[in-house]
Structure 1
Amino acid sequence: MRDNSFGRRGFLAGAAGVAAGASLVGLSPAEAVPVAPGVTKFGFPTDRTLRVLVTGDAGTGLRAQWAVAEAIRTLHRREPVSLAVGLGDNIYESGPNSGTDPQFADKFENPNAGLDFPWLMVLGNHDTSSVLGGDGGWLLRGNHEVEYHANSPRWWMPSRYYSVRVPEQRPVVEFFVLDLNPLAAYIPPILSPYWAVDGQFMNEQRAWLDRAIAESTATWKIACTHHPYLNNGPHGDAGRYENLPIEPINGVHVKRFFEDHVLGKCQFLLSGHDHSLQVLEPTVESKGTRQIVSGAAAKTVGAEPAITPRGRHNALFENYHQLGFMVLDLTATTVDLRVHTVDAATAATTEAFTRRLV
């Protein structure tokens, strides 16, 4: 299924001159949202063998999302999942209107009933939309998803960016959940200094991430973003998003962020955005960090010739026409990855790829 929710390239090319607003605020880890009275969060595991669901671009509330969720429930009954990572575009097409928006039930809670474990959630461009779904032009809207952290046992987003160590003591893994929407918005926040490339929000996030990674004692360090660094699908690589030469909407600042603060410091980079399943090989540019794209939980790229994958990067696995999700099995010494494709009509799954990555 092809995603036409942006006005595609004609709209994107003209978006650089549009302001996103001048009086926005964000939420940093220092301003993390507390859990509301009466809400008990599902707990993080304490053992050192973990099964992590990796899924993204799920939040449509439509049949395809339900089919993938049912496939995950089948897996969870057979092989219990420890926690999940949701890689953004959690509430299509334009994000929630409040921290109590009914869309949270329709597009997250109800489809995922029975998947009772923590979901580490990432903000995507569709979660922060203004004029058109996916434009990323109303960054403040993402705070509603942070607010929802207080109200849901599953949904974990105490701040726009944060980290989680699992287990807390002697961690096997630390997830660094990042918000790069200010750098990737198709409507750049040029009149909002707070969200600027070198504004308060991004500078605080950079400093926080550098410190958090340096202090981490986890065996595996995994960065979680919506926008990828490397991508064989139609959205393209950071610095070449949508095959546009226009800065900054081509993601040039996202590219620089990854290169300065993530690559070579984390073993894995998990992203969505492209509605595909990709396990890419590390490159010289990625400094050994492996890019994994899992954005097919409700939509697919499709097989039309106009959006045939570019295939620039070597891949262990890539699929652009099937729904699906991934599973990471982590121990203190190994990382195993499985890719599951899902039949939208029956919710039947096929284990399409399995590999020990480390």
Structure 2
Amino acid sequence: MMESNPIDRRKFLARAAVTGAAIPVAAMASGTANATDFNNAAADNGKFPFPTDNDLRVLLTGDAGTGTPAQWAVADAIRELHTRETLSMALGLGDNIYELGPNGVDDGQFAAKFEDPNHGLDFPWAMALGNHDNTAVFPGDGGWLLRGDDEVAYHSRSRRWWMPSRYYSVRVPEENPVVEFFVLDLNPLAAYLPPLFVHYWAVDGQYMNEQRAWLDAAIDASPAKWKIACTHHPYLSNGSHGDAGEYDGIPIEPMNGVHAKRFFEEHVVGRCQLILSGHDHSMQVLEPTIESKGTRQIVSGATAKNSHGKTGPRADDRRTLFQNFTDVGFMVMDLNADEVRLRTYTVDIATGTSTLAFDRRLV
């Protein structure tokens, strides 16, 4: 959400829920949504290829698409790191086009808020959809799910941008994979303006039922050592948005993300070693909980915005390895068949220089 917006977000969203989130039906009708395996799209001509090595260095970004000096400063720091330690690929954890999402595949925002800031970072970026990417009325309301399809369509226009479907998986390397990333779309379950009028997008509608069945089968079939879920919305967060089921302190279902919580608990936790998310403009490395069944939550949502120190109700009492709510920055994950190592870097916006703030083997 925009930090400086004068509208009280919680009051606005609560009123929207009471009034039935009156978004025009035409704005929420189904677009394309069938999942495709990421590797089936890897033969697209001209796109940067995925790595074939067993030692991978993966960039983690989230909430990046502002086009502001902060995004450029973080990108400058990433480019400097890339000259010293070659990055294999990137994960973009949603809110790729602030504040309202794109307006068609030819929208200049794709250049201004993705291609131009990331020039020289010439590797595949596996992108997830965020709530701002699906805006209908209020920035980040998640209420126009068709808008996200413009980002899927952009997959065919960019060498970097990889989003062959709204949800998908990618195995790296493709043969004998070390890791499989499961890129999920939980926007129908976590939208502040929920899809009340089109059953296709509903909690028990075709889109989410197909995604659940696909994810269960894909995880079961995965030969990868590491299985990592990539979402915009976190399962757990010490930031101001908070945990699924308690998002933004909103007491109204489904706007509090209760259905996202159930999705995580029924299909992700205990089955993937890590959940990578954005949404909160912070960097967090949380310890696994009893509820997460050993799955660790990581939040990397500070690529262009920070939380200005604002935290959620769990920030002081939940066990964490690292959390930062005041800086912009990025994360780098080094993976091989034996271990997963994570580093976080804070970035000075004025100079574009980075500082290593956390470095630890996680598994």
User: Which of the five TM-score ranges fits, normalised by the shorter chain?
Assistant: over 0.9
Cα deviation code 1:133-157 (max 9, x no counterpart): 1000101100000000001000000
Deviation at 1:38, TM superposition (A): 9.1
Question: Contact conserved, 1:300 with 1:322, CA < 8 A, in 2?
Answer: yes
Deviation at 1:307, TM superposition (A): 6.7
The number of residue pairs the alignment matches comes to: 357
1:341-352 → structure 2 map (5 Å cutoff):
341-352=346-357
- Cα distance in structure 2, aligned partners of 1:283 and 1:291: 9
Identify unmatched segments of 5+ residues in structure 1.
Answer: none
Specify the code of the residue in structure 2 equivalent to 1:208. Answer: W
Greater shift after overlay, 38-47 or 260-269? 38-47
Are residues 1:127 and 2:128 paired? no
Give the TM-score taking structure 2 as reference length: 0.94
1:18 is aligned, of 2, 12, 21, to 21
Are residues 1:235 and 2:238 paired? no
Cα deviation code 1:251-310 (max 9, x no counterpart): 000000000000000000000000000000000000100000000000000036x87873
Give the TM-score taking structure 1 as reference length: 0.96
Are residues 1:252 and 2:258 paired? yes
Please name the residue that 1:289 is paired with: 295
Please name the residue that 1:321 is paired with: 326
Question: Contact conserved, 2:238 with 2:313, CA < 8 A, in 1?
Answer: no
Please name the residue that 2:315 is paired with: 310
Please name the residue that 2:183 is paired with: 177
- Cα distance in structure 2, aligned partners of 1:307 and 1:301: 10
1:95 is aligned, of 92, 101, 106, to 101
Question: Contact conserved, 1:15 with 1:188, CA < 8 A, in 2?
Answer: no
Specify the code of the residue in structure 1 equivalent to 2:188. Answer: P
Greater shift after overlay, 309-318 or 236-245? 309-318
Please name the residue that 1:146 is paired with: 152
Specify the code of the residue in structure 1 equivalent to 2:107. Answer: D
Are residues 1:270 and 2:276 paired? yes
Specify the code of the residue in structure 2 equivalent to 1:270. Answer: L
SS of residue matched to 1:68: helix
SS of residue matched to 1:74: helix
Specify the code of the residue in structure 1 equivalent to 2:185. Answer: D
Identify unmatched segments of 5+ residues in structure 2.
Answer: none
Please name the residue that 2:338 is paired with: 333
Question: Contact conserved, 1:34 with 1:150, CA < 8 A, in 2?
Answer: no
Deviation at 1:15, TM superposition (A): 2.1
- Cα distance in structure 1, aligned partners of 2:316 and 2:46: 45
- Cα distance in structure 2, aligned partners of 1:205 and 1:349: 38
SS of residue matched to 1:29: coil
2:88 is aligned, of 59, 82, 89, to 82
Please name the residue that 1:164 is paired with: 170
Deviation at 1:34, TM superposition (A): 9.0
Amino-acid identity (%): 65
- Cα distance in structure 2, aligned partners of 1:109 and 1:311: 38
- Cα distance in structure 2, aligned partners of 1:111 and 1:87: 16
1:29 is aligned, of 20, 30, 35, to 35
Q: 1:321 to 1:178 in 2, by over 3 A?
A: same
Q: 1:75 to 1:31 in 2, by over 3 A?
A: closer
Are residues 1:137 and 2:143 paired? yes
Deviation at 1:39, TM superposition (A): 4.9
Are residues 1:220 and 2:226 paired? yes
Please name the residue that 2:60 is paired with: 54
Specify the code of the residue in structure 2 equivalent to 1:351. Answer: L
Question: Contact conserved, 1:232 with 1:312, CA < 8 A, in 2?
Answer: no
How large is the Cα RMSD of the aligned pairs?
2.1
